[in-house]
Amino acid sequence: LYILISSFLYILRVSFTTKTIGYLNNKITLENKNGLLEYMKDIYIHQSFCLKGRAKRVEAYFGIGSFGMIISLIVNFISILFMIKDETGIEILTPISIGIFYVLYFYAILSILTLCIRRLHDSLYSGLWVILLLVPYLNIFIIYRIFVKSSWDINSLRDMS
């Protein structure tokens, strides 16, 4: 059991430290120097509404994985506001709390949608393909493109033409 757990942790460590990007016979190995907080800062603060550019597969893993944590932080913040309202009796905090919740909730959802669009750009697809996430059975193709398909090396595509 110890060997199994240690080998699993080694595989996780190796898979998050190096990434292979390639097209046909060209392979490039990139070192992953960003940590979890840097990825979350890029996803939710710096590139939250940026539709241009590319996103790595690791960013998609961290972005979607941290979405539940971000939503739970928002809910906890709103519950603190409701507790303050109950203790002080200030009724104006109820609509303010609900408004803050919806603003932060839609901000988080838009950040994830732009992350998915940038990830599709990295897979050489248009960002409009994200609409297929709403269509049953076709969303499996987009989920495959976002989470499974590796990044493409644009320079090797330029060399071919």
| Span 63-74, pLDDT tens digits | 888 888 888 888
- Side-chain-side CA neighbours of 120 within 13 Å: the count stands at 20
| Span 3-18, pLDDT tens digits | 555 555 555 454 444 4
Q: What's the pTM value of the predicted model, to 2 decimals?
A: 0.69
Retrieve residue 95's tokens. 């609509």
| Span 14-54, pLDDT tens digits | 444 444 444 434 444 444 566 777 777 888 888 888 888 88
